[in-house]
Structure formats: structure tokens, C-alpha cells
Structure 1
């Protein structure tokens, strides 16, 4: 069982210097990262809450112009981080819809990673943010893509001993987060050497664009006060194409790909419909990868729309084996 969520305390600015790495845009990769005794502001992120007391799970909440409220992140450190002096690969782990940055802590990420040489970054992504900058918002900025890729990634590399390069980064997620992982890997081509989608949709145009419609409806109801991710009634077609794994196959070539979907009906009718769409989309995506001679690992497991701890642990081991070694 994972430990409870860390308590929060007022921000304490660390004594001593901090070397801040150069800025990171959508197409630029940092070559080095600098360790710090405690994290500091930078890259458009102002820390308003933090807890660095736990030996492994460090918590931060930010003020940022990208998001109209204060998003948070948990950073899970390797067991020997404070004594080894080593540099580590990093996994960005993205939660599903109607969840938050604590989701994987509740599920057991501390136990899954105990003794493993990997930093795991678990940010807020909105209850229905879809890891996107929306076409419209009626409740202030909700630019999750900009927050994650243009602010959080370089901030992590500047404040933790990470390999700030393609070979040192992976991204994975569950459900909406699995979609986000696939999207970020293709759209930000040189950022992530490994991508994992656990019950995440991989084909957004199939079935008359059901995933696009669901992203629009859910974001309008939960995150955007009537705004939409992709536009309505007319979609921003270029945005849909840029986000759709099926239309960006070549951008997965040369990367580790790990896919999981459920096959069995769930007692929850919504859950059943959700995973049915995921399974069909992942099968379509896998067939397209096969045709393009792009290798992948994929599982179809009994059960509905849920995180499968055994597959997560297998995935974590595969990520560590694939990325640059600590």
C-alpha cells in the first residue's frame, strides 16, 4: 500500500545557489540538468506550496500563466537519490480523467518503484484537460500542453538530477493520460524515447470521431465552462490531426511503445463503453504500426477500464531497461 499524501507547508527558499538550465521550447532539448538541494522558481513557474520532507515524494504547487488555477506535481525520487550523486532517467506519468496528480500515489507508485533507478514526475492535467491547449475556454487559461512541455519539463531538468535528453525521458499514462502520452510523444518528437498507453485511446477519428466528441463534451462540462478542446460545432482539423496517433505513425519509429487495453465487460456501463472504444482504437493503431514495420509491445487483458498494477510494474521495468542508465 502506498504511503498517504504528503502534508503541505509554506514555501521555504533554499539557501545556496542554483544553476538554471536554458529555456525549452516545443522543439528544443536541454542537454544537461543541474541538481539542487531544493527546487526554485523558473520557466514561468512560481512555487506557492512545497513539501520536500518526505525521503522520496516531493510535492510542489505552482502559479503559472498557463493555467488559471494553481496546478501541482508530485516528484517521486529513487530510494538512493539523496546519497548516490547519480543522474537518473525520468518518467512523466499522466493521470486519467476526473483524477489529479495524486492518482498514482493512491494506486501504489511508491511500492512499484521501490529500489528502481528512475525519477517519476506526476503532474496535474485537469479533470478533463486532455493534455491540450483548448480551442476555447470560458474560465481562464487551461493550457495543459504548454504547462507540461514548455514549463514543467525544463523545470524538472533544472532542479533534479535528470538526463535532460531524448534517451533519458519516457512518458506514460492511464486513459486520458494514455492519450496524452501518445500525443506528446508524436508532437514533441525529440523529447521521449519511450511511450506507454494504459487503456488510452489511440485513434481519435474512428467511429465518426467519438474520442474527439468526448474530449469536447467532457472538457466543456468539467474544465472549460462551455469551451472545447477541438472546437464545436466545427473542429480545428489541423489540431485533431496533430493529436491523433493514427495520423502520426512515423513519429513513433525508433521509440519503445507499450500498449495495454481491457477485453472484458465491466459492471459499470460507462466503463464498458469506454474500454470498448479504447480496445478498438488500440487494435487499429497496432495494425497500422505493424504495416509500417514499427515494433511495439501490446497486451489485451481481461477486465475493463482500469490501471493494471502488474502491467504498470512490467512497463516500469521496460522503461528503465530502455532509457539511459543511472
Structure 2
């Protein structure tokens, strides 16, 4: 039993370093896990940072695998949930009811507390990517519209909103796109499945098609944007993380 425990601890160390912040924005202690590049301790290099929402161990392992396949070295910060609905959702609607939507506070935690902590304590190069899936993919869209300056690259897998959220995100998009220059150099990759069981009426897909039109007509070449759909996958298409990170790493591939 001791050998099994020792093995488990060894695996955890290799996966990441546990850290936490007492957040004033959220009024709670928020834990997160950091995975450092293999040569971090022996080099003097600085690294881009990939922030992974829904930071379960499985999602951190997925991020490590994707970065390894792409042969890119990144500091990976996985942010586990404490109250997912509260943190991720900026509103409540009949389609997705939330008691206390708190996306604004969660974004403030990331921008005002987490990012400064990471950039103070680790050798970062200032390039930031955020990745969300499903509900946290919606949060990526929210962050892109509310604080586009916070990240360089935004990846949303199974991302978007339902029809009864159109009024909120439509207004937010129109307001955000008035300041066009804040999107210069940004990268946004959004992916959905056309066979998603959580979007049987294709409301999310339709919303993303309309959003795509607005991006192209309002922002044009100021940013790099790609909306991808998959036919043969369900919710959160398996290749979409790899495809999204490859896209932002290779700019306009």
C-alpha cells in the first residue's frame, strides 16, 4: 500500500504544482495547478501561459498532451471549479438558470489576482491563452468581449449561447465592437459539433454563425478569427482543443 501511495504522489508531482490565492474578488481561497515545461528548471527561458478553465486533472492532462503533440512549451495553469455555474455564467435564463451569476467577479479574479500572481512567480513571456469547453467555452466568449486585452488568444470548444441569451450577448457584442482597436492582434478560435446533443435545435451554432458575421464585418483583419464545426463528434469535439491551439500558434493557418 505504501508503494502505491508513493507512486500516486510521484504522478501528482509530475502533473503539476499545487498553488492557491486568497481571492478578494471571490471572497474565497482558489486553488489551481501549474504544469511547467520539462526544461523550466534548467533553462533561463520565458514561456507563454495557457490558462485552462474547468481545471480538472483530466483536462490538465489533455492540455499537457495537446501541447506535447504540438511540440510547444507552455506554462499551463489549470483552474478547478468551486461553484461552476456562479463563476462561468454572466446571466440566468430559462434555458440555463443560475442563482447568482458571477462571471464578472470570476473574470476579475483571473485578471486582477491570478495572472499577476503567475507572472510574478514564474518566468512568463507575457503571451496568454485561455481555453474553455462547453459552459466555460461560453465564459471564453464573455471574456473576449468584456476584457479582450486580458489574453492574446481565446479558444472556445463547444462555445456559444442559446437563443434566449441572444439579447444579452448581442448587446454585449455591439458595445464591445464599438472599440475596434482593442481587438488588434487578438486570436479567437471557436468550435462546435453539428451533432451536439446539448444543441439539438442548433441554437448555439446559429448564434455563432451570426457572431462570425459580426466579427468579419465589424472587425475585419484586426484579429484572426476562425469558427469550425465538426460532423462526427458529440459535445466538445475531441480534436477541437488541438485544432484551436494549433491555429493560435500558427496564426492564420
Unaligned runs of at least 5 residues, structure 2: 1-6, 93-97
TM-fit CA distance, 1:210: 6.3
TM-fit CA distance, 1:197: 1.3
Cα distance change of structure 1 residues 312 and 246 upon mapping to structure 2, 3 Å threshold:
farther
2:72 maps to 1:116: yes
Greater strand content: 2
Match for residue 192 of structure 1? 151
Cα distance change of structure 1 residues 241 and 265 upon mapping to structure 2, 3 Å threshold:
closer
How far, CA to CA, are the matches of 2:12 and 2:140 in structure 1? 30
- Length-normalised TM-score, structure 1: 0.59
Asked whether the 8 Å contact 2:21–2:114 carries over to 1, the reply is no
Match for residue 102 of structure 1? 57
> Which of 227, 231, 236 is the matching residue for 1:307?
236
SS at match of 1:298: strand
- Length-normalised TM-score, structure 2: 0.74
Larger RCO, structure (CA 8 Å, separation 6 or more): 1
> Which of 176, 185, 196 is the matching residue for 1:254?
185
Q: Within 5 Å, give how 1:186-265 maps onto structure 2.
A: 186-201=145-160, 207-209=163-165, 244-245=172-173, 247-249=175-177, 250=180, 251-265=182-196
Asked whether the 8 Å contact 2:196–2:235 carries over to 1, the reply is no
Q: Within 5 Å, give how 1:66-145 maps onto structure 2.
A: 66-95=25-54, 100-105=55-60, 108-114=62-68, 115-125=71-81, 126-131=83-88, 143-145=105-107
SS at match of 2:118: helix
Cα distance change of structure 1 residues 137 and 298 upon mapping to structure 2, 3 Å threshold:
closer
Greater helix content: 2
Asked whether the 8 Å contact 1:246–1:285 carries over to 2, the reply is no
Cα distance change of structure 1 residues 191 and 283 upon mapping to structure 2, 3 Å threshold:
same
SS at match of 2:38: coil
Cα distance change of structure 1 residues 52 and 286 upon mapping to structure 2, 3 Å threshold:
same
* RMSD across aligned positions (CA): 3.6
**CA offsets 1:225-274 (integer angstroms, 9 cap, x no match):** xxxxxxxxxxxxxxx678x34542334343112110110153xxxx244x
How far, CA to CA, are the matches of 2:205 and 2:86 in structure 1? 22
